[in-house]
Amino acid sequence: MNKLKKAFVLVGMVTAVPITVIALLVVFSIQWMFHTWSNLTMEELMFHLQAPLEGTNEGMIVDYLNTCAVPAILILLTMILILLSCRKQKKCFWITLISVVVSVSAMATSVRAAWNKLDVGGYTESQSTYSTFVDDYYVDPAGVEITFPEQKRNLIYIFLESMETTYTDIENGGGFEENFIPELTKLAQENEDFSGNDNQLNGGYPMPGATWTMGAMFAQTSGLPLNIPIDDNAMNTQDSFFEGAVTLGDILEDAGYSQTLMIGSEADFGGRKLYFTEHGNYDILDFNYAHDNNLIPQDYRVWWGYEDEKLFGFAKEKLLELADGESPFNFTMLTVDTHFEDGYVCQSCPDTFGDNQYANVMACSSRQVAEFIEWIQEQPFYENTTIVLAGDHLTMDSDFCEDVDEDYVRKTYVSYINSAVETENNTERREYTTFDMFPTVLGSIGVQIEGERLGLGTNLFSNTQTLSERFGNEKISEEVTKKSKLIEELSDIKEETSETVTEEIEPTAVITAGTYDFTTGNLPVIISQIQDAPDTIQSVKIAVWTQEDQSDLQWIQTGMDENGNFAVDVNIAGFNYREGMYYIVAFLEDDAGNLYTIGGTIGFVD
């Protein structure tokens, strides 16, 4: 019995070693994650967990190994040495027990903190909740008349890594006492950032699904959030990237544009190569292209690939080549030196701000971009070329903005240079998101857009109200975080399976709300064009509510009208409703009592 007890204790001590090490590795990993991505969101985390990692900054991987893996290995070796040198089994038992309790407690605390900071509960709830907001307010470019000018205008679209309006000084609308981006500040003020008569910089508000580079590039060129379903394998198993969406690249390709994407990192990272080749057939000139074409030495690699100083030089050569071609061109590029953490210090970086490395890198980027713009403006092709400068997302640097006033609204940097059109109202300061870049970029090269809206975006050169101005950014943020049947349809995510899956076709319909009658308080609702319905329709009913928590939800039965549609007058006034949003979701019931969601709509009464 005594031998059995000793054997049990020994097994327990041996088992405690990997438990302790794994628990501490989790603790180190969570700390490293939030130190590296100070503004990490669950949307971004889930995308990168599911997307390919080719092209990841090697320095980041090394940093993780040094910060997390190496300490865990050292702890493992230390515990093994302690157990080997421990002469008394009882003493060893207490050492391992204390190690397990401390490490597991630390892991539980870290996981709980991560859970709260990432709002995993809210994210999980939103991923199990459908919203019709995107479905209702998305304008499909395929159904919109888009007219190009007779002389098509060239486009140079420069995504500026992590560039915010925040980096200018308070006087100019920033969040700091000093101006870290004086040249970019001047460019925005002398050109168009939709700030109206206000001299303070204005920029785009990044929504969930658009807060990291690939999400941002996708949002700005499609007007959609890059929200991938949590239960799908996403981009690393996909053959297409939102195949059903019509994007900026698709529209320009159909118009005969030559399209190029130039970046100093590997395009495979985050699915960028897949997206830009599928949507617009862009020529991809990335880090690997530079290697293969001897633009850089075979053994050369810094930061994420090669630095922006080289990028701008290569861009000049490519632009001259494109300008000699017969087709109008869209030259899109992405800078990288200002990526977190603290940016990359190239040989041209100043030390204007002392040991504040990130500020120095931002100042360097500001100067290099301005010099590049000046060079473009000296070229013959500039007269017929629009330049768009756009920060992709807010910085993920862990501490650079920690002293910025918590009430300050951080936005991405935006500037339209040499636009083909002027704003219809140049005195008004606009409120907009990065979704609005999609139609606005087209507007800036003289394209006329029926209704002035594409995707979830609005052409800011027009007087048409943006969704931000209509609903507020908080409302949009809440809605786009939830699941959307339209996004699922457009993304067409395919789950890997060894079994043959029979696709079930769900019935759909068009839900139309008429004009609200203030005298009677009634809102006419019509359900038409029911598709893929079961053989027998027992009834069609709608769920209606005006409170976001659905506390006033009412079920209302519809009837058949003279046109063969299902219709009903909803007494909105009966909801103690005065003005604001109303929500309607329609359901079809078959003869077996099965309910099918067939569509919905959201409306606004003022």
Domain termination site, one of 430, 460, 495: 430
Do 400 and 322 have their domain in common?
yes
When pLDDT is cut at 50, 70 and 90, the band that residue 501 belongs to is very low
Per-range mean pLDDT, top range of 110-124, 412-426, 533-547: 412-426
- Map residue 275 onto helix, strand or coil: helix
Is the separation of the CB atoms in 584 and 544 below 8 Å? Answer: yes
Q: How far apart are CA 482 and CA 478, in angstroms?
A: 7
From the list 205, 218, 297, the residue with the least C-alpha distance to 261 is 218
Please give the pLDDT value at position 101: 72
pLDDT digits (tens, 9 = 90+) for 545-554: 777 666 677 7
When pLDDT is cut at 50, 70 and 90, the band that residue 79 belongs to is low
From the list 108, 84, 88, the residue with the least C-alpha distance to 14 is 84
Per-range mean pLDDT, top range of 490-499, 518-527, 584-593: 518-527
Do 341 and 204 have their domain in common?
yes
Is the separation of the CB atoms in 334 and 159 below 8 Å? Answer: yes
Instruction: Examine the pLDDT at 7 and tell me if it is beyond 90.
Output: no
Do 122 and 153 have their domain in common?
no
Do 91 and 222 have their domain in common?
no
Query: Measured in whole angstroms, how far is the alpha carbon of residue 507 from the centre of its chain?
Result: 31
What is the spatial order of strands in the sheet that 412-417 belongs to? 203-204, 412-417, 385-391, 154-160, 329-334, 258-263, 283-285
Is the separation of the CB atoms in 462 and 193 below 8 Å? Answer: no
The total of structural domains in the chain comes to: 3
Residue carrying structure tokens 């118009």: 255
Angle ∠(508,512,515) on CA atoms, nearest 5: 170
Do 554 and 421 have their domain in common?
no
174 or 97: which leads in pLDDT: 174
Instruction: Examine the pLDDT at 11 and tell me if it is beyond 60.
Output: no
5 or 252: which leads in pLDDT: 252
Do 216 and 257 have their domain in common?
yes
Do 91 and 154 have their domain in common?
no
pLDDT digits (tens, 9 = 90+) for 371-398: 999 999 999 999 999 999 999 999 988 7
> What is the domain-level CATH number for residue 383?
3.40.720.10
When pLDDT is cut at 50, 70 and 90, the band that residue 508 belongs to is confident
Instruction: Examine the pLDDT at 445 and tell me if it is beyond 80.
Output: yes
* 497 within domain boundaries: no
Q: How far apart are CA 46 and CA 123, in angstroms?
A: 10
Is the separation of the CB atoms in 382 and 400 below 8 Å? Answer: no
Q: How far apart are CA 78 and CA 536, in angstroms?
A: 71
Angle ∠(102,105,108) on CA atoms, nearest 5: 150
The secondary structure of residue 49, as a DSSP letter, is H
> What is the domain-level CATH number for residue 579?
2.60.40.3760
* 197 within domain boundaries: yes
229 or 51: which leads in pLDDT: 229
* 286 within domain boundaries: yes
Do 256 and 156 have their domain in common?
yes
Is the separation of the CB atoms in 605 and 584 below 8 Å? Answer: no
pLDDT digits (tens, 9 = 90+) for 340-359: 888 999 999 989 999 999 99
3-state secondary structure 437-506: HHHHHHHHCCCEEHHHEEECEECCCCCCCCHHHHHCHHHHHHHHHCECHHHHHHHCCCCCCCCCCCCCCC
57 or 310: which leads in pLDDT: 310
Do 258 and 314 have their domain in common?
yes
* 464 within domain boundaries: no
Residue carrying structure tokens 């309790």: 101
Please give the pLDDT value at position 377: 98
* 451 within domain boundaries: no
Domain termination site, one of 95, 127, 159: 127
Please give the pLDDT value at position 328: 98
Q: How far apart are CA 68 and CA 24, in angstroms?
A: 9
Q: Dig out the tokens for 199 from the structure.
A: 């001299």
Please give the pLDDT value at position 550: 65
Q: Dig out the tokens for 203 from the structure.
A: 């920029």
* 133 within domain boundaries: no
* 107 within domain boundaries: yes
- What's the average model confidence in pLDDT over 410-434? 95
- What is the pLDDT of the chain when averaged over all its residues? 83
* 68 within domain boundaries: yes
Please give the pLDDT value at position 503: 43
Give the contacts of 404 (CB within 8 A, at least 6 positions apart).
Answer: 166, 175, 176, 410
Do 252 and 123 have their domain in common?
no
Query: Measured in whole angstroms, how far is the alpha carbon of residue 338 from the centre of its chain?
Result: 18
Q: How far apart are CA 173 and CA 170, in angstroms?
A: 5
Please give the pLDDT value at position 147: 97
Lowest mean pLDDT among 121-135, 197-211, 347-361: 121-135
Please give the pLDDT value at position 51: 46
Is 244 buried (19+), middle (13-18) or exposed (0-12) by CB count in 10 A? middle
pTM to 2 decimal places: 0.67
Domain termination site, one of 74, 100, 127: 127
Phi, psi of 446 (to 5 degrees): 85, 15
Do 113 and 161 have their domain in common?
no
Do 426 and 532 have their domain in common?
no
166 or 123: which leads in pLDDT: 166
Domain that holds residue 426: 146-227+247-409+417-430
